[in-house]
């Protein structure tokens, strides 16, 4: 066992006890609510909703139910589509939501692009949110029969011929902000206009069963990627986030299916103690660490990450032409080029103790890639953000490109301890694979890929 694995095991044991005590608290809470209900206690709260129906607006009744039952209560949404016409925050405290239907956000692009009609609670890149969940000790369960309908097609078609910029106001479908001990379970997000999920300023959050699907249906754009930025999730300033199943108490089937035209997962600054298991990425860029180092005034730290049982699947190119990487890492340069949300650079920090394990690839372009020149120009100062202790274990499958591993670390922060164990990827057309290591201090498992200085 390596030190990284030992550390990870300690953390998992700790997480297990945290989650057990959380569920004991939730279920004993439920029991006492039931007892109180029999006693006729007014503190017992159960709110049940059903959609009002055609051309009616459900936003008021949804907000009223959460206001009434979102603290120490249960809110049950019966199946159907709930018409949501304005931004909404759910503050959930010691409560449960059973969302058997879809919150359907009206596809009114000029309305949502008006900055006063969304929230800006995600600091990074000033991204907009139309739906924010905050609070503590809650379960939000969509039973794989509900979640969010982002009605993304008009957004993708609209932006197909326009410039997209970070912070331009395209809303994140589901934002968790300032959450402590929350569970999001079996949740479906159809047609997110922009990022599917974001979790920011939060701790001890488990997403167990998440589905995101941004698939263009407009024949005018067949064969093009018109769904950029539909990231599965971006994590930021958050600790102890678990994506998918962390214990075997759920059935064995893969719970995450993420179709996207961009990053399947994007691990951004100050994401620590992250555990990810059972992820399928269908199209897009692959799993990203970054971008990092965009804000000169902040260090971005990514530490102690385990991701296992990952699967990258290339789609029919008429549906989605890209299937970029298995996992890639990117930082801005050491020079400040403009200001966020669209410019930036110069930020420091580090990415360390990251294990990716059991990764299967179906015709990706470049399986493993590290670069530190995002948004940069030639002549920029090298990034000071350092990658160290990255382990790639049990990788299999195929790559369309011959360059299987492309590690280009900054000369100002060469990378120590890059470990490759049982990485067995074949190039689809049978060409001999190549590897690049630039500014790598130490490496095991890729003989000959060990270079200090430029290639
Ligand atoms: C949603 O509610 C608005 C009224 O606020 C209405 O004009 C619109 O038709 C409704 N949408 C759906 C899909 O029912
Ligand atoms: C943006 O929305 C606000 C609040 O609804 C409204 O007062 C304002 O007129 C809108 N601005 C534009 C440019 O539509
Ligand atoms: C975060 O939530 C806690 C309560 O759970 C609250 O006291 C605090 O003010 C919130 N912080 C922010 C920045 O909203
Ligand atoms: C994604 O959505 C499209 C369009 O609704 C559908 O054809 C496709 O089967 C979905 N993909 C998955 C993996 O569910
Ligand atoms: C990340 O955490 C470090 C140390 O706690 C802090 O100095 C830095 O400003 C944080 N970065 C961001 C992006 O919040
Ligand atoms: C590897 O991941 C796949 C899913 O992609 C899973 O079915 C398989 O059981 C995993 N193998 C091991 C040894 O955990
Ligand atoms: C990298 O791992 C070594 C031990 O394997 C440890 O001493 C070092 O602190 C780690 N680096 C970071 C930045 O965590
Ligand atoms: C195999 O694919 C690589 C990368 O696309 C290409 O450069 C190379 O020419 C191909 N080789 C053959 C024999 O087709």
**Closest among 168, 162, 140, 148 to 214, alpha carbons compared:** 148
Gap between the Cα atoms of 179 and 117, Å rounded: 22
Pocket probe mutation, ligand 8, options 400, 428, 429, max atoms within 8 Å of Cβ? 429
- Give 320-377 pLDDT, tens digit per residue: 888 999 999 999 999 999 999 999 999 999 999 999 999 999 999 999 999 999 999 9
Res 11 pLDDT > 50: no
Which tokens sit at 68? 């009434």
Atom of ligand 3 nearest to the CA of 180: 5
Pocket test for ligand 8, best of 367, 426, 431, 432 (most atoms within 8 A of CB): 431
Tens-digit pLDDT profile for residues 116-153:
999 999 999 999 999 999 999 999 999 989 999 999 99
Residue nearest to ligand 4 atom 7, measured at CA: 215
Spatial separation of the C-alpha atoms in residues 279 and 301, rounded to whole Å:
23
**Predicted confidence (pLDDT) at residue 21 exceeds the cutoff of 60:** no
Nearest to 409 by CA among 325, 324, 330: 330
SS3 call for 370: strand
In whole angstroms, give the CA distance from residue 117 to residue 198: 18
Which has the minimum average pLDDT: 10-24, 247-261, 363-377?
A: 247-261
Percent pLDDT > 90 in the chain is 76
- Please determine, for residue 257, whether its predicted confidence score (pLDDT) is greater than 90: no
Separation of alpha carbons 433 and 287, rounded Å: 21
Q: Output the residue whose Cα is nearest ligand 4's atom 5.
A: 215
Ligand 5 site residues, Cβ closer than 6 angstroms? 237, 269-270, 298-301
The structure tokens listed for 406 are 């492309």
pLDDT averaged over the chain? 87
Nearest CA among 106, 70, 111 for reference residue 89: 70
Domain boundaries, the chain: 39-444
* DSSP characters over 109-136: HHHHHSGGGSB----GGG-EESEEEEEE
Q: Whose CA is nearest to atom 4 of ligand 8?
A: 401
Give 178 Cα–ligand 3 centroid separation in angstroms.
6
Q: What is the pLDDT of residue 259?
A: 57
With beta carbons less than 8 A apart as the criterion, state whether 427 and 398 touch: yes
117 lines ligand 2 (CB under 6 A): yes
pLDDT reported for residue 246: 24
SS3 call for 330: strand
Please tell me the CATH superfamily of domain 39-444, with its number: Single-stranded right-handed beta-helix, Pectin lyase-like (2.160.20.10)
Distance CA 18, CA 1 (A): 24
3-state secondary structure of 17: helix
Note the ligand closest to the C-alpha atom of 254.
Answer: 6
Q: Is 388 in the pocket of ligand 7 (CB under 6 A)?
A: yes
pLDDT at residue 142, rounded to an integer: 95
% the chain with pLDDT above 70: 85
pLDDT in tens, 298-311: 999 999 999 999 99
Summarize the confidence of residues 9-24 as an average pLDDT: 43
Report CA dihedral (255, 188, 171, 162) to the nearest 10 degrees: 80
Reading the block at residue 252, the tokens are: 């064995």
Rg of the chain in Å (alpha carbons): 22
User: For residue 258, what pLDDT is reported?
Assistant: 59
Ligand nearest to the Cα of 202, by number:
3
**Ligand lying nearest the CA atom of residue 117:** 2
Catalytic residues: 262
Atom 6 in ligand 4: residue holding the nearest Cα:
215
Ligand 8 in reach of 398 Cβ (< 6 A): no
Interval between CA 429 and ligand 8 midpoint (Å): 6
């Amino acid at each position: 066992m390596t030190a990284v694995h030992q550390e990870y095991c300690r953390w998992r044991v700790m997480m297990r006890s945290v989650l057990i005590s959380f569920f004991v608290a939730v279920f004993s809470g439920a029991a006492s609510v039931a007892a109180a209900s029999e006693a006729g206690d007014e503190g017992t709260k159960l709110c049940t909703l059903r959609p009002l129906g055609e051309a009616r607006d459900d936003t008021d009744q949804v907000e009223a139910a959460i206001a009434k039952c979102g603290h120490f209560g249960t809110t049950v949404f019966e199946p159907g589509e709930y018409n949501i016409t304005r931004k909404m925050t759910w503050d959930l405290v010691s409560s449960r939501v059973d969302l058997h239907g879809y919150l359907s956000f009206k596809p009114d692009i000029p309305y949502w692009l008006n900055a006063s009609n969304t929230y800006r609670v995600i600091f990074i890149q000033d991204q907009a949110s139309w739906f924010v969940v905050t609070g503590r000790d809650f379960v939000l369960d969509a039973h794989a029969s509900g979640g969010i309908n982002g009605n993304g097609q008009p957004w993708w078609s609209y932006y197909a011929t326009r410039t997209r910029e970070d912070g331009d106001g395209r809303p994140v479908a589901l934002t968790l902000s300032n959450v402590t001990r929350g569970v999001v379970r079996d949740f479906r997000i159809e047609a997110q206009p922009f990022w599917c999920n974001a979790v920011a300023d939060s701790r001890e959050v488990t997403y167990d069963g998440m589905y995101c699907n941004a698939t263009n249906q407009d024949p005018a754009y067949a064969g093009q990627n018109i769904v950029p930025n539909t990231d599965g999730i971006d994590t930021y300033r958050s600790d102890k986030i678990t994506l998918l199943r962390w214990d075997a108490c759920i059935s064995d089937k893969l719970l995450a299916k993420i179709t996207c035209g961009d990053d399947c997962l994007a691990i951004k600054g100050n994401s620590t103690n992250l555990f990810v298991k059972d992820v399928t990425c269908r199209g897009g860029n692959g799993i990203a660490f970054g971008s990092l180092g965009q804000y000169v005034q902040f260090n971005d730290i990514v530490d102690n990450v385990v991701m296992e049982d990952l699967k990258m699947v290339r789609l029919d190119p008429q549906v989605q032409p890209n299937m970029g990487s298995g996992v890639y890492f990117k930082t801005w340069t050491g020079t400040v080029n403009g200001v966020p949300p669209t410019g930036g650079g110069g930020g420091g920090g580090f990415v360390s103790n990251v294990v990716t394990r059991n990764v299967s690839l179906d015709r990706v372009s470049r399986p493993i890639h590290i670069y530190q020149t995002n948004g940069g120009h030639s002549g920029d100062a090298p990034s000071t953000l350092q990658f160290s202790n990255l382990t790639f274990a049990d990788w299999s499958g195929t790559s369309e490109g011959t360059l299987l591993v492309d590690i280009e670390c900054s000369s100002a922060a060469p990378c120590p301890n890059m470990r490759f164990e049982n990485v067995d990827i074949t190039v689809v057309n049978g060409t001999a694979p190549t590897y690049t290591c630039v500014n790598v201090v130490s490496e095991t498992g890729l003989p000959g890929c060990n270079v200090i200085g430029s290639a």
